[in-house]
């Protein structure tokens, strides 16, 4: 076995049906009594429900419900100003990647204890990474201080998650695991997490398409999302995430849908250089027949996942701009990042073609 370093991020995880009810006790355990709740406008109802759960235990100083995708700086600044006015002693993000991203961007700036209650399968809650958008460009920041202090996974909060979003946030989570398998600083422990997380999600997502109320599928999906997110939190990112940050931040494309569409194409580009990682991924994907690209194409087809960036408003003339931005900043990737080839990767994702390893 090759030499390696394993540096797990410290995390306090509470997992189980009804676990949101433990939030008040957890606040008291950590000596906290004045939380500020964060959400998107669409999830204000869940934020209000959490406020009611906390009534009589702590003083909720307010709800900031303007979180939005790609964590634009102007929203973060507005939330920080609101935070100063309310003087909370902690933040609680309830929602998906947009809300969690806002909470991370705030806590790393003001040092507040950050509790996350995820309602999707994005996995951002267990990573020390935040992507922020300024003037149409999304940049990624990694710092141990970004990692939330406590994560409460409540199965019940995912039961009404729409099937389409369940699928795309689940594939987004698989993307974290896939890149971890060939990360520059990978290790065998993270590889185990990546395979198990991918296996759980690949099992759960087709079942959710058949029965969105399946408790076992929801449990598998949440479990898989936690494992996959933990992988991304332990190792670095490569081509897939860089492309998605470029596309999402520059063209305001939806986060999880963009990850879903790009993933098989980015993997196909890197596949020739990472045969061991591809074998591990193939072992975790059903119906792959030893080919993880085929396995992903099949999974996307079985779950009716989106395949085309064009369908979300990206224009054909944007492909060249995206390729230029994607290669403008140097970053590690197992295969050399060549502009013309990356343009073709983006074009295929834009057109909605099946991924293939012929570049």
- Per-residue model confidence as pLDDT tens digits over 176-208: 999 999 998 889 999 999 999 999 999 999 999
pTM of the model: 0.92
Q: Is residue 8 part of a domain?
A: no
Mean pLDDT computed over 32-58? 97
303 and 171: one domain?
Answer: yes
DSSP labels for 64-130? E----TT-BHHHHHHHHHHHHHH--SEEEEEESHHHHHHHHHHHHHH--EEEEEE-SS--GGG-SEE
Q: Is residue 177 part of a domain?
A: yes
Mean pLDDT computed over 275-280? 97
User: Two tokens at 314?
Assistant: 């990206």
CB 169 within 8 A of CB 129: no
Domain C-terminal end among 134, 158, 182: 158
Confidence check: pLDDT of 168 > 80: yes
Domain C-terminal end among 135, 158, 181: 158
Mean pLDDT computed over 310-329? 95
150 and 232: one domain?
Answer: no
Among 86-95, 124-133, 164-173, 304-313, which stretch is predicted with the lowest mean pLDDT?
124-133
Q: Is residue 359 part of a domain?
A: no
Mean pLDDT computed over 57-77? 96
Confidence check: pLDDT of 218 > 80: yes
Helix (H, G, I), strand (E, B) or coil at 355: coil
230 and 140: one domain?
Answer: no
Confidence of residue 1 (pLDDT cuts 50, 70, 90): low
Q: Is residue 358 part of a domain?
A: no
Mean pLDDT computed over 110-123? 95
125 and 22: one domain?
Answer: yes
194 and 110: one domain?
Answer: no
Dihedral of alpha carbons 64, 65, 71, 75, sign: negative
CB 165 within 8 A of CB 303: no
203 and 334: one domain?
Answer: yes
249 and 289: one domain?
Answer: yes
**Cα–Cα distance between 120 and 46 in angstroms, integer?**
13
pLDDT for the residue 142 = 86
Helix (H, G, I), strand (E, B) or coil at 32: coil
246 and 332: one domain?
Answer: yes
Confidence check: pLDDT of 297 > 80: yes
The proportion of the chain whose per-residue pLDDT surpasses 70, expressed as a percent, equals 99
pLDDT for the residue 359 = 92
127 and 190: one domain?
Answer: no
154 and 172: one domain?
Answer: no
**Cα–Cα distance between 195 and 281 in angstroms, integer?**
7
Confidence check: pLDDT of 30 > 90: yes
Question: Which residue segment(s) compose the domain that 60 sits in?
Answer: 13-158
340 and 306: one domain?
Answer: yes
254 and 149: one domain?
Answer: no
Q: Is residue 247 part of a domain?
A: yes
Q: Is residue 44 part of a domain?
A: yes
CB 285 within 8 A of CB 292: yes
């Amino acid at each position: 076995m090759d030499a390696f370093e394993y540096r797990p991020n410290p995390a306090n995880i509470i997992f189980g049906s009804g676990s949101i009810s433990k939030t008040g006790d957890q606040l008291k355990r950590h000596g906290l009594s004045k939380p500020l709740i964060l959400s998107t406008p669409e999830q204000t109802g869940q934020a209000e429900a959490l406020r009611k759960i906390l009534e009589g235990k702590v003083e909720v100083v307010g709800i900031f419900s303007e979180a939005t995708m790609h964590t634009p700086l102007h929203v973060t600044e507005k939330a920080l100003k609101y935070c100063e006015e309310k003087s909370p002693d902690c933040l609680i993000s309830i929602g998906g990647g947009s809300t969690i991203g806002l909470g991370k961007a705030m806590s790393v700036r003001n040092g507040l204890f950050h509790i996350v209650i995820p309602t999707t399968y994005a996995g951002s809650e267990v990573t020390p990474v935040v992507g922020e958008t300024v003037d149409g460009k999304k940049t990624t920041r990694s710092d141990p201080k970004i990692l939330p202090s406590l994560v409460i996974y409540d199965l019940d909060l995912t039961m009404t998650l729409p099937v389409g979003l369940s699928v795309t946030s689940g594939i987004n989570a698989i993307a974290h695991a896939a890149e971890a398998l060939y990360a520059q600083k990978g290790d065998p422990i993270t590889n185990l997490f990546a395979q198990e997380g991918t296996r759980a999600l690949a099992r759960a997502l087709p079942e959710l398409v058949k029965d969105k109320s399946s408790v076992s599928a929801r449990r598998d999906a949440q479990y898989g999302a936690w494992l996959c997110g933990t992988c991304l939190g332990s190792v670095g990112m490569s081509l897939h995430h860089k492309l998605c940050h470029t596309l999402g931040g520059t063209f305001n494309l939806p986060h999880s849908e963009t990850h879903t569409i790009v993933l098989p194409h980015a993997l196909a580009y890197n596949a020739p250089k990472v045969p061991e990682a591809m074998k591990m991924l193939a072992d975790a994907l059903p119906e792959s027949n030893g080919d993880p690209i085929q396995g992903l194409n099949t999974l996307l087809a079985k779950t009716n996942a989106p395949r085309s960036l064009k369908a979300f408003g990206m224009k054909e003339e944007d492909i060249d701009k995206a390729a230029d931005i994607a290669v403008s900043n140097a970053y590690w990737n197992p295969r050399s990042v060549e502009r013309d080839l990356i343009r073709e990767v983006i074009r295929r994702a834009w057109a909605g073609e099946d991924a293939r390893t012929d570049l």
